[in-house]
Structure 1
Amino acid sequence: MKRLLFLVLFTLSSTIAMAQDFNKAKSLLDEVYNKVKSYDNIFVDFKYSLRNEEAKINTDTRGDVTMQGDKYVFNYMGAKQLYDGKKVYTVVPENEEVTVEEKMDDENTITPSKMLTFYKQGHNYAWDVLQNVQGRKIQFVKLTPIDTNSEIKSILLGIDVETKHIYKLIETGKNGTKTTITVNSFKIDQPLSKTLFTFDESKYKDDGYYIIRN
């Protein structure tokens, strides 16, 4: 009887602790989301690392993205992607090509405009470790996809406790691939050109680019 009572109490306390962790994690992520949504525009310069020991993949690169609402300009690995609110334009100077596509409506696809808000839906949350990074307190929250068919095993989201800005994202895939995005610079409400999110097709045609429409 005592053993049964102990197991019931242990299970109850574990359930309460998990609920408290979930609520703490969700509360912090809500603060991050509300902060992001309060800005007119955001510029993020980041480091991107990809690791997979079995496939012998070990790459590091950098990129940057400017976002305003759903619109964005994304520079990565020598290519540029622009979304003007209707269409996505991908410019690859190496091939002198521009691909024009309709906006992707797949909710599971993390586009540059969702990179700071993707966690809002489709994940379970758990409170994780607190790290000191060069004097900054970075609180990690562990995200686990609700969809059991997801190729993602888990995501660790590191949040600056003071600014409520995302500092690091560590995604672990079920195939062993680990992707890490570390924010080098986070700027808000910068003066932007009125034509920043406008695609000038004539400019690329004059430069000899081939325009592909999907």
Structure 2
Amino acid sequence: MKKITILFLGLFLTTVAFSQDSEKAKSLLDEVSAKMGAYKNMYIGFSQTLSNEDAGIKEGDEPPIRGEINLQGEKYNLNYLGNQFIYDGKNLHVINHDEKEISISEGDIEGDDGFVYPSKLLTFYKEGYTFKMGKLQNTKGRKIQYVILNPKDSNSEIIQVELGIDAKTKHIYKLIQTGTNGSKTSFTITKFKNNEDLPKNFFTFNKDKFLSNNYIID
């Protein structure tokens, strides 16, 4: 009976500790989302790297992919992978400047594959994840607190997300996604600005402008 009691007590304490750790992690994420989401707008410059040890691809083998995004509420203007994405809160416009082709779709990127897109940084964690506190790391003189997120969906193509948060500013610094195929995508914020004076039509798609420049709209 004593052994059973000790075992039960051990399981109970483990469950309580896990629950407290999960609540602490979620509380930190909520604090970050609330702080960054309260800005009138944000500019984020970022770099993205890919590694896959199973495939012999190490981080740094290829130059990082660089991009930038301006966010204002649900609206955003993103330059990424050679394309420009303009979401005006209703429709998503994907502009390929090299091919002069534009596709327009209703609604935002769904992200059904589990990949966390730059436009979803502040909200992706709110549904479909479990949380726990990760390591506290010193990076270039900054204390970065990591939170580990695991998708609840067993069919997700992403098995883990590590979100690095600057412990002082409560801003997101880095996001690392590990896929089911062993690939690891690292997204690092290299430049950050907030509350800038942007043109009124910054998040508006100017159809006439592109048509006059011989763009093809699907």
After TM superposition, the score normalised by the length of structure 2 is 0.90
- Mapping of 1:12-161 within 5 angstroms? 12-55=12-55, 59=62, 60-104=64-108, 106=110, 108=112, 110-161=116-167
* Residue type of the alignment partner of 1:48: Q
* Residue type of the alignment partner of 1:63: G
Work out the CA distance in 2 between the residues paired with 1:184 and 1:104. Answer: 25
CA contact (8 A) 1:72 1:112 kept: no
Deviation at 1:67, TM superposition (A): 0.6
Work out the CA distance in 2 between the residues paired with 1:210 and 1:105. Answer: 21
- Residue in 2 that maps onto 1:209: 215
CA contact (8 A) 2:129 2:152 kept: yes
Work out the CA distance in 1 between the residues paired with 2:75 and 2:117. Answer: 10
Q: 1:76 to 1:106 in 2, by over 3 A?
A: closer
* Residue type of the alignment partner of 1:125: F
- Residue in 2 that maps onto 1:162: 168
Structure with the higher strand share, 1 or 2: 1
Deviations 1:145-197 (A, max 9, x none): 11222111010000011111110000001111111100101211111011111
Work out the CA distance in 2 between the residues paired with 1:31 and 1:15. Answer: 24
Work out the CA distance in 2 between the residues paired with 1:94 and 1:22. Answer: 46
- Residue in 2 that maps onto 1:172: 178
Deviations 1:127-150 (A, max 9, x none): 110001111111000001112221
Work out the CA distance in 1 between the residues paired with 2:163 and 2:103. Answer: 32
Stretches of structure 1 lacking an aligned partner (at least 5 in a row): none
* Residue type of the alignment partner of 2:106: E
Mean Cα deviation higher: 105-114 or 154-163: 105-114
Q: 1:78 to 1:136 in 2, by over 3 A?
A: same
Three-state SS of the structure 2 residue aligned to 1:48 is strand
Work out the CA distance in 2 between the residues paired with 1:9 and 1:100. Answer: 57
- Aligned match for 2:189, one of 183, 186, 194: 183
Three-state SS of the structure 1 residue aligned to 2:119 is helix
Deviation at 1:99, TM superposition (A): 1.1
* Residue type of the alignment partner of 2:168: E
Deviation at 1:87, TM superposition (A): 1.2
* Residue type of the alignment partner of 1:69: G
Number of paired residues?
212
CA contact (8 A) 2:41 2:195 kept: yes
Work out the CA distance in 1 between the residues paired with 2:23 and 2:123. Answer: 18
Mean Cα deviation higher: 94-103 or 112-121: 112-121
After TM superposition, the score normalised by the length of structure 1 is 0.91
